Amino acid sequence: MKTILILGAGLSSNMLIHYFIERAAKLNIKIRVGDKSHATAAAKTENCPQCSAFEFDIYNDIQCNKEVAKADLVISMLPARMHPLVARACIKHGRNMITASYAGSEIKEMDFEARKNGIVIMNECGVDPGIDHMSAMQMINNIGAKGYEMIAFESSTGGLVAPGFENNPWQYKFTWNPRNVVLAGQDGARFLHNGKFKYIPYHKLFNRTETIHVPGLGEFEVYGNRDSLTYRDTYKLHHLETMFRGTIRRPGFCEAWNIFVQLGATDDSYVMEDTENMTCREFINSFMAYRVDIPVEEKLSLYLGIPLNSSMMGRLQWLGIFEDTKIGKPGLTPAKVLQTILEKKWSLESGDKDMIVMQHQFDYMDGELRKKIYSTMTHIGKDSYNTAMAATVGLPVAITARLILEGKINLKGVHLPVIPEVYEPVLKELEQLGIRFVEEEVVIPRDISSV
């Protein structure tokens, strides 16, 4: 009987753990789930005789090595900064490892050691990054196999609330790590557009958006996501006119979020004073010039040019940022204060459903014709526990892990899931589980360029 070690039992682990619980007897496996909270791990493994839960401290080197040594395969669902600690233990004990996170430089530098010790460290197996890589590479390779020339590639993903549940002025709620949402975009964006390199700094990112159409759902807005240029190497697309990756939001979100960016309320580089006694109103006022003759609302209106009676101001008031409610937590950065405020308003309620939207756009030449394929995936969660985010992050990780455990993936070293050996069976099973793409192909008139 083989043992799968899952480290981290947060929200994104729900469907991953459930996948193996459902198949534990058939696969003849034991599942050990470790989390900093034993109660959290235990809640997700109860009533499963093949499962065991335990309290796990990643910084306890003895415990980490002991657990990894007992496992046949390790899945790290811990925060990305902790993956190298797990990876070192996996290399030491010769255990394969899988994550849903971006492969950072520290992990990439372990490629030689991983190969030497005969293991694979498979990264970016979630949704974004993950399903985006797999589905994009499948289509790119299909286009190339037909002898067509790819000239533009765009890919965008968003974690949103499902239609009918966008019941607040922002039409948004947290469907994944709130901290990551608050800090999103701080590295700006780099991409290629019609043969020109483009760079958008953070303070301009949220007012430089594009519009996409999602079949059956209407229009959404997209802002640039980090460094799109690196994916020319990942996807082996070095002669494109356009290479762009973005994040999807509902119309109007970016304009409203930009208010916090311009204020400095998303800054995470310093700790504010006395945040345990600071009120929401004082937090916003701390970024304004000192004036006692007008209220905070009016100061903000003048500072950012937002009419007092506008819907934009209504969104801000709905969040409660002008109220005299105490933050109640010491030693917070502005970003953490903002996160504390937002969590009270943007958390999924028990009856809510979330949604993942992903759309690729592939432009290629078919003889003299320029064609575009829209490949779109939308997936709606079952409820606020069995979310679309948990499914699209956890299931590709689980499927990849099973394939490695069964010897159907035999790679060594540090990898991404951009190899047919990985993405073909994973995408096939995801489709069987209801996560699928719909394609539409159109001919682009000669005088219209890729957006």
pLDDT at 47: 84
Task: Provide the sign of the torsion angle of the four alpha carbons 378, 379, 383, 384, taken in this order.
Answer: negative
- 217 within a domain of the structure (yes/no): yes
Q: Are 379 and 355 in contact (CB under 8 A)?
A: yes
Last residue of some domain: 123, 149, 176? 123
Q: Domain span at residue 39?
A: 2-123
Q: Are 248 and 355 part of one and the same domain? A: yes
Same domain, 209 and 357: yes
pLDDT of residue 445: 84
Residues 9 and 99 in one domain: yes
- How high is the pLDDT of residue 344? 95
Is 451 within the bounds of a domain? Answer: no
- Is 402 within a domain? no
Does one domain contain both 236 and 354? yes
Are residues 119 and 196 both part of a single domain?
Answer: no
C-alpha radius of gyration, the chain, whole number: 23
Same-domain pairing of 84 and 180: no
User: Residue 99's beta-bridge partner residues?
Assistant: 76
In a domain, 209, yes or no: yes
Same domain, 382 and 236: yes
| pLDDT number for residue 46 | 83
Residues of the chain below pLDDT 70: 446-451
Final residue of a domain: which of 123, 157, 184? Answer: 123
Whether 70 maps to a domain, the answer reads yes
Residue-level pLDDT at 449: 47
Q: Structural domain tally of the chain?
A: 3
Same domain, 252 and 137: yes
Same structural domain, 238 and 163: yes
CATH number of residue 213's parent domain: 3.30.360.10
In a domain, 244, yes or no: yes
Within a domain: 265: no
Whose structure tokens read 């009120």?
279
pLDDT digits over 226-256, tens only? 999 999 999 999 999 999 999 999 999 999 9
91: left (phi over 0), alpha (psi -120 to 50) or beta: alpha
| The token pair that represents 213 in the structure block | 């159409």
* Single-letter amino acid code for the residue at 369: L
- Picking from 123, 150, 170, the residue at the C-terminal end of a domain is 123
CATH value at residue 61: 3.40.50.720
Which is it for strands 73-76 and 96-99: parallel, antiparallel or unpaired?
A: parallel
Is 391 inside a domain boundary?
A: no
- 177 and 240 co-located in one domain: yes
Taking each helix axis from N to C end, the angle separating 14-27 and 388-405, rounded to the nearest 10 degrees, works out to 30
| Per-residue pLDDT tens digits for 7-37 | 999 989 999 999 999 999 999 999 999 999 9
- Residues 187 and 279 grouped into a single domain: no
Q: Are residues 212 and 278 in the same domain?
A: no
What gap in Å lies between CA 376 and CA 359, rounded to an integer? 4
Q: Are 100 and 125 in contact (CB under 8 A)?
A: yes
